[in-house]
Each structure stands twice: as structure tokens, then as C-alpha cells.
Structure 1
Amino acid sequence: MPEGDSPTVARRRIRLALREARERADLTQLQVAEEMEWSLSKVIRIENGDVSISPNDLRPLLAYLGIKDKPLIASMVADARIARKRQRQAWYQATEFRENLTDATRKLIEYEIEAAEMRSYSVYFVPGPLQTPEYAAALMTRYEDELSDSQRERRIAARQLRRDALLGRAAAGEVRILVMLDESVLRRTIGGPAAFTEQLRELRRLAAEQIITIRMVPFTLDAAVTNNAMFDLLTLGEGEVLYRETGLGDELNEDRDTTGKHRARFDKIWDEAADEAATLAFIDDQIGTLEKLQ
């Protein structure tokens, strides 16, 4: 098994292997549930990573799925043991956050704690973990008709806790963060001139301290990364996870073809975008312009 295994990584590896094995065997989740005398929800929760599978449940399941390779079985059983190790309850599992964050968001946070690299792309706004509190609050006012005051407060608090964890790891050299923003993101004064100026200064600080690497996709570059307004692509010990957010909705996608296409497209446009020096010069110009308005 790879070094640095954690229950999160082990659980992800084993659930993906089980899902792929079931699909190769041309079996439905219902067929697996009936054969194993489990509830359908148990199979779904195992494949979604909501629960871990015990070694005792895993062995007969592997036999049913036709997996006979002894080294592979031993590796998967070892993963099952690691995945079931008890972890200290994380902040995002606390009741106040479970009730106000989507399942996709909570899994994203869990993966951010383990990611080795993160590629973030946005057309409309600064990515969540890089937002200042004032900028995040201004964004959340867009949903005052859909979300209660308590829900918005919890989501803002979650963004700041995500920020502390992710940027702390980046400062320690544990994760590499590549941020690619459309020029419109660096022009859109969300929260007003003062709040937006503070946000731009924060992006500049993070880049200057080499916590993030940032590039801008200028209006003059006739290219788009994807049809999606934003996404985060996280590289874990094995494989990648794609997170997409659209307004109040979000989703995680671990399909290799989908993540591979997003990675290739991101890297292609990254090479064509304005480099970091030009991007930071643009940010400095924006800060100077905004300061005159205050």
C-alpha cells in the first residue's frame, strides 16, 4: 500500500475497487445486496464511502465478485482494516455543519485534508478556501431567499475552517495549490470596493508567500477550460476527484475519464494563461484603481 495511508484514502480506494469489480461482473447493487443478505442502502453507503466495510463482510463479497487474486485480496482486507480505524471527529461532522453542508461539500473537505495537489478554476468568483470572511459573506447574500441566516452563517464559517486547514497544509508544503481565474473574477467587485480590495490583497499575499500559484485567463485569450463555471480537481494518493459547484448545488465526480479530461484541459489553458508575474501586476493595478474609489 502507498505510504501515508489514512482511513480516508483507504476507504476511497476500497470503495472504488468494489464498485469497479461489481460493474465488471455486470451486477447491480440490488443483486449484491440480495446475495450478501444486506440492505440495498448498505451497499450504496459502502460504494459512496459513507460507511466502511468490515474485513469479515469484505471476504465473502470479494468471492461473490469473482476476485481470487490472493495478493489483491490481502491488500483490500488491509485497506478495510485501515478504513475502519477510529478518527477523532472532524469539525465538519459536527451536527451544526452536517445539517447545513451538502454531502458533496463534506466529502470535499475530507479530501482536501489528504490531497497532494489542488487545481482550482473559476469564472465568477474567488474559490471558497481563498475567500476572506467579508468576501464570503457578500457571496452568501445572493442566497438570502433560499438559505436561512443560520445556514448562511454555518457555510461562511465552514469556508473559513476549510481555508485554515488547506492553506495551513500549503504553507507547510503538504499540498500544492494551482489557482486559475478568469479575468472577470479579478474585476468583479463582490462586496464593494473595500471588501474586494482586501480580497485581492489576500490573493497577492498568498502568492507572494508561495502558498498558492495563481494565473489569470485574460479576456484576450479565446479559450475556456470547460463549460463549467468553476471546479476543483484534487489529486490524492491514487487518482483524482472533481468537485463542481453551481449556485446552491454541488457534486463530486471520480470517473477517471471525466477527471482526466478536466486535468488535461486545465493544464493546457494554464500554459496559455498570463503567467504569475503578469497576473500579480494586474492585481496590483486593480488594487490601485479600487483604492481611488474609497
Structure 2
Amino acid sequence: MAEDVSPTIARRRVRIALREAREAAGYTQSDVAEAMEWSLSKVIRIENGDVSIAPNDLRPLLAYLHVKDRALGAELLALAKTARSRQRTEWYQRPDIRPHLTPAMLRLAEYEAEAIEIRYFQAFHMPGPLQIPAYAEALLSIFSDEDIPADTRHARALARQFRRDTVLSRLGSGLSVYALLDESVLRRTIGVPDVCLQQLGEMRDLATTGKITIRMIPFDFDSAVTNNATFDLLTLKSGKAEERSEVLYRETGLRDEIVEDQTVQRHRERFDKIWNAAATEQDTINFMGSRIKDLEAQIRHRRIP
């Protein structure tokens, strides 16, 4: 029932149902905008999940889309009311953070608070919510003001720590995390060796205590590796019995996006194939231990007068 669904999941179910109904009716988004006397951008924002649709707008839209199933209509109206009950106190709604996050980042933050499983595929650096503050700041400091303005870097570093708090607080109580990392992630020094040492120590502790599961793709890996270098796969419970669905967040050099089409399943299949062929959890933990020893030796050598 709608009352058992979070606002995030409710909004997602409504917009997916509306998009499917529009496509089944053979209408374009422009057709909907013209018939409802809305702007095209409003239709796009509703279907993208950037905004929630008001129940008073939903009723005539369902009629236009030929949704005649009364039970379905009642459910969608209840879900629309739940979706609009979202509190404005979430950290990502803060005025010093929200303007500096992309629409995809905002939706990712919502999904991370609802996910029951998260799978990270990373080829360059640690997954965002698993980064300690010093690592996140060192990583963002690489960018110039022309790339990312200083106030945006500061806001995103802060956002990353809120995301970290959200994910870590849910481990063992409804959330499972699987991190698939290229060996270069564990070798690359972000910032100074001390920062890398702290980050690796944190990751090893999370893995050895069973809070997260980590596997490494070694340099001598002889299986095909996807060229989608970084993505997050989030498994959500829809609210209907044990029904689940997956969404994907990915970044490129120019943009980031949330993906919810058939390509998500292909990414999951690629992830599972590489995961099963990668180094085991224990071998990965042992490798992190050797890297920690190397970094400790570097730091001792640096401090010797």
C-alpha cells in the first residue's frame, strides 16, 4: 500500500507508471504537454522524477492517458500524495548544498537512503560514500576553479560526507554494499600518503568486519572488463511484496546521469561476471594489508631526518 512506501519510492512508481501509460497510448511528451496545457519542461520533469505531480494534475492526466483501471488510479493518487509529503529537512535540501549538486546527484542521494543493495564499480578512486573526509577533499582539490568552482567543491565534499553517514549508518540494518575496485584504485595515492593510508585502513576495517564486501580487479586480470569505468548500481524495494528494481548512476567526463532503462540489467550482468572472476575478498583484504605496510614504510622514511 502507498502508506508503506517512502516518498522517494512513491514518486518513482508514479512517474514510471505515467511514462508507461503515455507510451502505451502512443503519445509523445509534447502531446501530453499540449493536451494538459502544461509546458513541455513540466512533463519532462515529472517523468524524470525531478518534481512530483500534484493529485489535481494527476486525475485529468490519467483520463487523458486512458488509465481506466480504478484500482490502479486510486493507487497512483495515493502514491502521488505520499510523494509530495517529502520533508524538506533532508541534508541535500540545504541551501548551501542543493544548488551545487546536479539533478542526478540529488536523486542518487535519495536512492542511497532507500537502497537495499549498492554495487560500486570503480576504476579510478574509492566510491564516494566510502571516502573519508580527507580523501574526498584531496580528490576534489585536484580540480581548478575553472573545472569546479571552489564553493561547489566545498559543497560536494560536504555532500559526500552526508552520503557516507547515510550509507554507513545503514550497513547491517537493511543495506548490503559490494565494491568492485580496479587494482589502480588501491595503488593510487590521492593527496599525501597519510591520507591514502587512512583511507585504506578504513576500507580494510569495513571489509574485515563484514560490513561491506570488496573484490579487486588485478592488473593481470585475463577476463574481459567493461569499459564503463565507473558506475553505482542501486537495488530498491518497490513496496510491492518482495518486488525489486535497479537504477544506475554513472559519470563521464562531461555529465552524470541516473539510468533506469534496459541498459541497467546489462550493467548488472557485466558487474556479476567480473565480480565472480575477480580476486576473492580475502585476497583483496591481503592486498590492502600489503599496501598499508608499503605506505607506512614510506611515511617512516619521509620522517627520518
Query: When the two structures are superposed, what TM-score results if normalisation uses the length of structure 2?
Result: 0.91
- Is 1:26 equivalent to 2:31 in the alignment? no
SS at match of 1:223: coil
* Alignment partner of 2:271 out of 266, 270, 285: 266
Contact 2:3 2:82 in 1 (8 A): no
- Equivalent residue number for residue 35 of structure 1: 35
Does residue 62 (structure 1) correspond to residue 62 (structure 2)? The answer is yes
Alignment deviations for residues 10-47 of structure 1 (CA, whole Å, 9 cap, x no partner): 00111011112112222111211111122222212211
C-alpha distance in 2 between matches for 1:3 and 1:283 = 45
Give the match for residue 275 of structure 1.
280
Question: Contact 1:225–1:266 at 8 Å: present in 2 too?
Answer: no
In structure 1, C-alpha distance between the alignment counterparts of 2:235 and 2:72, rounded to whole Å? 23
Aligned to 1:126: 126
2:303 matched to which residue of 1?
none
- 2:135 and 2:86 map into 1 onto residues whose CA distance is 36
**1:247: how far off?**
4.2
Consecutive unaligned residues in structure 2, runs of 5 or more: 239-244, 300-305
Runs ≥4 residues deviating over 4 A = none
Looking at structure 2, the residues matched to 203 and 4 of structure 1 have their Cα atoms a distance apart, in angstroms, of 34
* Structure 2 counterpart of 1:194: 194
Partner of 1:151: 152
1:92 maps to 92
How far apart, in 1, do the equivalents of 2:38 and 2:148 lie?
Answer: 37
Cα pair 1:6 1:82 within 8 Å, conserved: yes
Segment of structure 1 superposing worse, 214-223 or 284-293: 214-223
> 1:209, 1:175 → 2: CA distance?
15
Q: CA deviation at 1:264?
A: 1.0
Cα distance between partner residues in 2 of 1:249 and 1:143: 15
- Rounded to whole Å, the distance in 2 between the matches of 1:228 and 1:68 is 42
* Aligned-pair Cα RMSD in Å: 1.6
Which sections of structure 1, spanning at least 5 residues, go unmatched? none
- Contact 1:2–1:237 (CA<8 Å) still a contact in 2? no
Deviation at 1:224, TM superposition (A): 4.7
Give the % identical residues.
57
**Cα distance in 2 for residues equivalent to 1:158 and 1:106:** 10
Q: Which amino acid aligns with 1:279?
A: T
Query: How many correspondences in the alignment?
Result: 292
CA positional deviation for 1:137: 1.4
